[in-house]
Amino acid sequence: MRFVAYRVPQGGSGASGSSELRCDLGLDIIAMDFPKEAKVPTDIPKGWAPPVIGNRQVMVDRIKKANPVIKFSDLVSGILIGDDFALQIDLGKEEECSRICFTARGNEKAVGAALEVLQLFEIRGIECANTSFLDLDPESPAALRKWREYLDQAQSPDPEAFQAES
């Protein structure tokens, strides 16, 4: 997890016009059809090559059908913009996709949307900052929410508002 700066169109609609600069939490995720027996990324065998997840056009169609709010400017990249979050999706340029890259920014809704795509294709993602599998457990977005609440509390100008847990 890291802090990132990004622009969000006013109103969160993705329409052209003015935009707002935000600084928030960011999460980079790379998703592949990782071996099911791998409990942690270091369990992935040396020389392992990711299998194809699907045809890029078919994948875009499935993603858009599952979540029509996700907009694809082409068959490579899509974006989902909400009031408090943004999720970028990169399918790569190969016709047969073997990976999906996500950049989640803002609140836990971005991670939740990425998890929905992972579940759609029955694949797992690695959270790049700490090189661990992003849990497909529905509670994963809640963990990000808890971390965000902690940061908000820690950054509060009111010293009484911050209470570190021991």
Distance of CA 79 to the CA centre of its chain: 10
Q: What is the DSSP letter of 11?
A: G
Distance CA 145, CA 154 (A): 14
Within a domain: residue 66?
A: yes
Within a domain: residue 3?
A: no
Q: How far apart are the first and last CA of the chain?
A: 22
Within a domain: residue 20?
A: no
Within a domain: residue 148?
A: no
Specify the number of domains making up the chain. 1
Within a domain: residue 103?
A: yes
Within a domain: residue 95?
A: yes
Within a domain: residue 6?
A: no
Task: Report the pLDDT value the prediction gives residue 4, as an integer from 0 to 100.
Answer: 47
Given pLDDT bands bounded at 50, 70 and 90, which one contains residue 159? low
Tokens of 89: 């999706």
Given pLDDT bands bounded at 50, 70 and 90, which one contains residue 142? low
Task: Give the structural domain span for 136.
Answer: 26-34+48-143
DSSP string, 47-114: T--PPP-EEHHHHHHHHHHH-TT-EESSSSEEEEE-SSEEEEEE--S-SEE--EEEEEEESHHHHHHH
Q: What is the pTM of this model?
A: 0.71
- Please say whether the beta carbons of 56 and 75 come within 8 A: yes
CATH of the domain at 56: 3.30.310.250
Identify which of 37-41, 97-101, 142-146 has the greatest average pLDDT: 97-101
Of residues 88 and 135, the one with the higher pLDDT is 88
The predicted-structure confidence for 6-56, as pLDDT tens digits, reads as follows 455 555 444 455 665 555 567 889 999 999 999 889 999 999 999 999 999
| pLDDT at 118 exceeding the cut of 90 | yes
Within a domain: residue 163?
A: no
